[in-house]
Amino acid sequence: MMRSPFRLLTRLIDPFAPAEGPPPRRILPFTRWALRGAGPALLLAACVSVLAGTSELVAAWFTGWAIDTALAAGPGSFPGALWGVLIGGVVFFALVRPAVFAIDASMSSVLVQPHLFPLVLSRINRHALGHSMRYYENDFAGRISQKAMQLSRALTDVVSESIDVVIYTMAIFAGSIVLLGGIDPRILLIFAVWFALYAGFLRFFIPMVRSRAAARASARAVVTGQIVDTLSNIATVKLFAHDDVEDRAALDAMERFRARGVDFGVMSASFRFVLMTLGGLLPLSTITAALYLWSVGIATPGDIAMTAMVSTRLAQITNRVSMAGVSIFANIGEIEDGIETLAQPHEITDRPGAVASVAGRGAVAFDHVTFAYGGKVAALRDFSLNIAPGEKVALVGASGAGKSTVTSLLLRLYDTEKGRILLDGVDVRDMTQHALRDRISVVRQETTMFNRSALDNIRYGRPEATDEEVFEAARRAEAHDFILALSDHKGRQGYAARLGERGVKLSGGQRQRIALARAILKDAPVLVLDEATSALDSEVEARIQHSLDAVMTGKTVIAIAHRLSTIAAMDRIVVMDAGRIVEQGTHDELLARGGLYAGFWNRQSGGFLGRTAAE
């Protein structure tokens, strides 16, 4: 069990506290946003670091005092005249100093590092979840995740090393001025000159360290994105026998990362060399000054010893500072690189005062909607469509006609550029995104699964559902039997078996049946079927059609299908072309009209094959 002092430390920072508002895009405001709430704990850690640095000076002062006391007492006075030195040494070196450094170590290892990383990452992750589909379509998922981890680690390291090294060193430096200035104020001139050189060096090198660190971080993220993209599409790579192509792409990305790494390494080595040289000049000059002051009768032998200990300790710390300095400024470069990608504002946000719930049976209305995905070619052009509660409407058209855009806009994966969309009389932009999507069940053509159990994947539709409700939804989707036969590499069976990344262990038809079960379990008033049975063979499709009919009863349904036999019995069929409605009516009405729909139907029902045979 964790001891109570450490348990107390773990309560000082809530590692999963939500952030206030969106992340700023400048590094200092972003840092305040990411660390807000941890301030008191970090201040405590900084104070302990100052105390640890001060204890180093006390040790140096004690050494000088002990030497002067011994010289004043003369030979043969041990231990009688030196009892105070002995007792003070035991108390300080055996009790106080170890306790201070133990507390200082626990501040870093128990309080700061284990809590800051999840605090920053959880806030970045929450912001990332709120991005629109366009954000993810324009980047690699692997690159985004890499940058989130990279930024969180870098910011945690900056804070930790700033407390452990920078504040610790500043405490020693400030205390050294006090101790050595007490010997003779002229020694302070040495510190002033040394510090000016030190500050000028940092001002020269820091921008280069940060820029090269940012370039290295960006190149590393590209490597991750390239490899994740290849492995995510490994089946395509193997089917086209393009292992060498993907290997070359990965090697090119790695070569760019290697070159950026070499650039950073050269800069890092130069940085440390100059910093170590400066660090060595400090004890050399201060010890020389102390010897001179002793020679003229101003300093004591104890002062020389104290000066040697303090300045040598500062020189040693300079080595640590050089390593920490490279790390800190490299991490700052990585933070800036991560902010550029991760702190972008959300394209789609909830309006102030957006309603969290809407009553109604699922009436849907598209009112003169135009949308072009931000480009010049419109996917929808002045699109208007009213769907009554409980009405089942099919959208039909050639690829690119705008069918899937209709459902994406209804779900507010994108915002309309012109016009509006109403759900039960409320503009979808006046609803919270959660409230809107909670009222719509979706089964899409490209169905992917989480690498979780079959039970978890179906229960995603309604997390509070019981196991029996999940099983029933699976039965209705004709998925129960094949799920019971599943197993994974760890021996988990049936509903407990993991489905693999994106459901790769399942066939397309199996994935769609699990997606149907998920939608059945959700039981929302509006049901969107975007090629929901496209991966099913005719036999399975026939078996689940009666289940679909039962699920659709009483719900507003928008179905997209290229296989027209699956939507022939819908209440209304809407035919689209180039983002507009060109025909609508029942199946029989549209066939009698002899228009675009009739042409689609004839080609699918054998007219095309018959014509080919005749030719």
210-263 residue pLDDT tens: 788 878 878 887 888 888 788 877 878 887 888 888 999 899 999 999 999 898
Phi, psi torsion values for 453, nearest 5 degrees: -70, 160
Query: Hey, how many other C-beta atoms are within 10 angstroms of the C-beta on 615?
Result: 5
Work out the average pLDDT over 552-561: 88
Is the Cβ–Cβ distance between 546 and 372 less than 8 Å? no
pLDDT of residue 5: 66
Pairwise pLDDT comparison (320 vs 35), residue with the higher score: 35
Q: Which band of pLDDT confidence, cut at 50, 70 and 90, is reported for residue 1?
A: very low
Q: Tokens for 36, please give them.
A: 């807000």
Q: DSSP secondary structure string, 28-41?
A: HHHHHHHHTT-HHH
Question: Distances from the Cα of 394 to the Cαs of 186, 332, 362, 379, 531, in angstroms?
Answer: 90, 53, 16, 18, 11
Residue 138 has pLDDT above 70, yes or no: yes
Q: In sequence order, which residues have a C-beta less than 8 Å from that of residue 18 and are 6 or more positions away?
A: 123, 126
Work out the average pLDDT over 71-80: 69
Residue 547 CA, chain-centre distance (Å), reads 40
Assign 591 to helix, strand or coil.
helix
Residue 525 has pLDDT above 90, yes or no: yes
Percent of the chain with pLDDT over 70: 93
Enter the pTM of the model.
Answer: 0.74
pLDDT digits (tens, 9 = 90+) for 436-450: 999 999 888 767 788
Residue 609 has pLDDT above 70, yes or no: no
Work out the average pLDDT over 299-315: 84
Q: Which band of pLDDT confidence, cut at 50, 70 and 90, is reported for residue 374?
A: confident
Q: Assign residue 42 a region: left if phi > 0, alpha if psi is -120 to 50, beta otherwise? A: alpha
Q: Which band of pLDDT confidence, cut at 50, 70 and 90, is reported for residue 502?
A: low
pLDDT digits (tens, 9 = 90+) for 575-584: 999 899 999 9
Q: Whole-number mean pLDDT of the chain?
A: 85
Q: Which band of pLDDT confidence, cut at 50, 70 and 90, is reported for residue 26?
A: very high
Domains in the chain: ranges and CATH: 22-342 (1.20.1560.10), 364-439+524-614 (3.40.50.300), 450-509 (no CATH)
Work out the average pLDDT over 308-334: 80
Residue 533 has pLDDT above 70, yes or no: no
Work out the average pLDDT over 56-74: 82
Pairwise pLDDT comparison (106 vs 542), residue with the higher score: 106
Q: Which band of pLDDT confidence, cut at 50, 70 and 90, is reported for residue 83?
A: confident
Residue 510 has pLDDT above 50, yes or no: yes
pLDDT of residue 421: 96
Residue 77 has pLDDT above 70, yes or no: no
